[in-house]
Structure 1
Amino acid sequence: MSVTEPRTVTRPTWQPRLAAVLAVTVLNTVLALAAPLFGADLVVAPQGQEPGALAWPAFTVFTIGFALLGWGVLALAERLLGARRGRLMWTVVAMLIVAGMFLPPLTVGATTATVVVLQLAHLVVAAVIPVFWRTSRA
């Protein structure tokens, strides 16, 4: 009689990650479209530059772009460093980036409502981090 080891079933990681990327993209797009309802004109004036308006497609493109970039970097880190070490390094770097991305909206000339919307948009993008972390193969 032979003893069989329990089979480990690995769930695909791409499905919840893709769902997270799509969810944050939709949420940020809705946030940008609803911003005028909250008094945010989405006009920013970086130092030394003319004021410019941020259009809602920019929120969509940047959200999906950075979420996919985070996904790709996590996959690369897991492959190069191993699942556990790759996830740890990615998490540390991701959290440092999250901390750093709250500074730019505070340094540009913008209304308080616009700054709040930009900070919320950054928080929304950061919401993929726990999903990516949880679905890691580590």
Structure 2
Amino acid sequence: MLVRQIFLFLVLFVAAFSASCQDSKDKDESGQNPIDNRLVGKWEVRSKTDTEEVDGAVTETDRDVYQTGEKTYEFTPDGKLIITDGFGSHQTTLPVQMMEGKLYIGQFHKDKEPYTLTFTATGLEMVKREVELKNGQTITEQELVVLERL
């Protein structure tokens, strides 16, 4: 009987401990969602490809290939993305955060689509997919950004 009570107590303790850790998942001590340390630094944007599919068939593809120095992304440790365009002539700063391994760029809201990150031997691929049902058709828009570390 005592062994059973101890076992039950341990199970409840582990369950309570696990639940308490869920609230702080992906957050640092300030309550913010820090970005993956592998992102921090400056990246050269090599290309950006936008693809639209209707019911699984590709209907449109738009691919931009950038020259060296034309467009860069710089991720800061304090959760900002500095996008430099036009060989340094234009700069935009946006907030970024990570939740459950996904990257959110810009102001966060509950319906915002995140980027999935894939680190490669030469850089990083960021993919964002948005799916909507319109007039009985499934429309999928995908954005693929290929980056190389500077």
Between Structure 1 and Structure 2, whose CA radius of gyration is higher? 2
Taking CA–CA contacts closer than 8 Å with sequence separation of 6 or more, which of the two structures ends up with the larger relative contact order? 1
Q: Same fold (TM over 0.5)?
A: no
Q: Which has the higher helix share?
A: 1
Alignment TM-score, normalising by the size of structure 1 = 0.31
Q: Which has the higher strand share?
A: 2
Alignment TM-score, normalising by the size of structure 2 = 0.30
